[in-house]
Amino acid sequence: MELFWYIVLMTMLAVYVILDGYDFGAGIIHLFFAKTEKDKKAITNAIGPFWDANEVWLIASGGILFFAFPTLYASSFSGFYLPLIMILWLLIFRAIGLELRGQIHNRMWEAIWDKAFGISSLLLALFFGVALGNVVRGVNLGNVVNGVSTHEAHFFFLPLWNPTFSPHAEVLGVIDWFTLLLGVIGVVSLAIHGANWIIFKTSSDLNTKLRKVIFNLNIVLLVLVIISILIWHLIEPKPFHNFFKYPWLWVFPVITLTGLFGLFKIKSFKKDGHGFVFSSLFLFGGLTTTVSSIFPKVLPSTNDINPDLTLYNVAADEYGLSVGVYWFAIAIVLVAVYMFIQYKVFRGKMDDVGYGEH
């Protein structure tokens, strides 16, 4: 049952990254490339009917984490308290940036909420990439100091950064050079993803420019991915051990590379949705490749005193996990029906939606 709920959790997180990821990416594009009011309207129209529903997947993932893996939930929400509070405020400002902009038709008012929306989206993409980096790198479980565990084996707490900015320090920070690299990869990949969504859902004059932006950003993304692979062994001595142990896991890196190299054909795609498919493949493949590399760990320990947190030692009781399957089946059917209706109602181009106008 632990494996079943782990797959459910990872699937829901992947869906969240793909769906809310294009919202973050659209915000990044809005911040840097939307110069006219027409461009800004096109971007907000593209995500307007979807962004709040997409965030539900994050809440649902938190619920699954609380129910199925309570020890991991308790450990993570205390250890990552500072960045989680920052993420909460960024989510709030992104939402009110979208909702309040159209309340008053004043240039200064609109500029303030445009920046709130764009900067919040940028920082959210960065922080979620940094969060993935922390999971790969691991944390100092038990807060071991000088070889002595000062807290329970599953407890940790991280400052935002440490003085050395190193992922190998005894006292780790949330942000170091390795986690920041993954954060930058997150920003670039979600900017590409958001641009693809805008092209897919609008007929904006901005779309021609965005195809060039995607191509150029994809070159940057390829370089960053190569660098991350080359330095991966500095964090994990045997980064590919799971892939050699379970050869079928190579399907996830193949998906990642398919998405990455497919995006280089963005200028020649005949259908607007093809770019979004390839960026979705990259995000799905990148996330699944990363978690597969540390499986069955869900939060590695950076010390030799306390063991890693795995899906088996953080899971709830077998009876609770079994009963939860029935409720999950009901919930997933309801969510599937809702999403089918939502995307059917708002299918096609969104240029005339007029989101946020009052």
pLDDT digits (tens, 9 = 90+) for 264-296: 999 888 888 899 999 999 999 999 999 999 888
Whether the per-residue pLDDT at 249 is higher than 80: the answer is yes
Whether the per-residue pLDDT at 315 is higher than 80: the answer is yes
| Most distant CA pair in the chain, distance | 63
Q: Residue type at 9?
A: L
pLDDT in tens, 99-129: 888 788 888 888 899 899 999 999 999 999 9
Residue 351 lies in a domain: no
Helix (H), strand (E) counts: the chain: 12, 4
pLDDT in tens, 142-165: 888 877 777 888 888 888 888 888
Across residues 4-10, what is the average pLDDT?
A: 92
Domain range enclosing 327: 2-345
Residue 355 lies in a domain: no
* CA angle (77, 79, 83) in 5-degree steps: 75
| Tokens standing for residue 309 | 């947190």
| Tokens standing for residue 235 | 């964090």
Q: Residue 185: exposed, middle, or buried by beta-carbon count in 10 A (0-12, 13-18, 19+)?
A: buried
pLDDT in tens, 35-63: 888 888 889 888 988 888 888 888 889 99
Taking the C-alpha atoms of residue 317 and residue 303, their distance in angstroms, rounded to an integer, is 27
Question: Which DSSP string do the residues of 189-244 spell out, in sequence order?
Answer: HHHHHHHHHHHHH---THHHHHHHHHHHHHHHHHHHHHHHHHHHHHHSSSTTHHHH
Taking the C-alpha atoms of residue 191 and residue 282, their distance in angstroms, rounded to an integer, is 13
Per-residue pLDDT band for 304 (boundaries 50, 70, 90) equals confident
Preceding omega of 296 cis (within 30 degrees of 0): yes
Domain count, the chain: 1
Residue 169 lies in a domain: yes
Across residues 318-343, what is the average pLDDT?
A: 88
- What number of other Cβ atoms are within 10 A of residue 59's Cβ? 9
Across residues 296-315, what is the average pLDDT?
A: 88
The pLDDT value recorded for residue 6 is 93
Per-residue pLDDT band for 240 (boundaries 50, 70, 90) equals confident
Whether the per-residue pLDDT at 214 is higher than 80: the answer is yes
Across residues 304-329, what is the average pLDDT?
A: 88
Whether the per-residue pLDDT at 256 is higher than 90: the answer is yes
Residue 220 lies in a domain: yes
The pLDDT value recorded for residue 356 is 62
Instruction: Give Cα 33 to chain centroid, integer Å.
Output: 22
Phi first, then psi, for residue 29 (nearest 5°) are -60, -40
Whether the per-residue pLDDT at 358 is higher than 70: the answer is no
Q: Global pTM?
A: 0.92
Please indicate whether residue 1 or residue 192 has the higher confidence score (pLDDT). Answer: 192
Across residues 334-352, what is the average pLDDT?
A: 85
Q: Residue type at 55?
A: E
Across residues 220-231, what is the average pLDDT?
A: 93
The pLDDT value recorded for residue 88 is 92
What's the whole-number average pLDDT of the chain?
89
Across residues 192-206, what is the average pLDDT?
A: 91
Please indicate whether residue 346 or residue 198 has the higher confidence score (pLDDT). Answer: 198
Residue 356 lies in a domain: no
Taking the C-alpha atoms of residue 140 and residue 170, their distance in angstroms, rounded to an integer, is 7
Residue 173 lies in a domain: yes
Residue 35 lies in a domain: yes
The DSSP symbol for 248 reads: G
The pLDDT value recorded for residue 357 is 62
Residue 353 lies in a domain: no
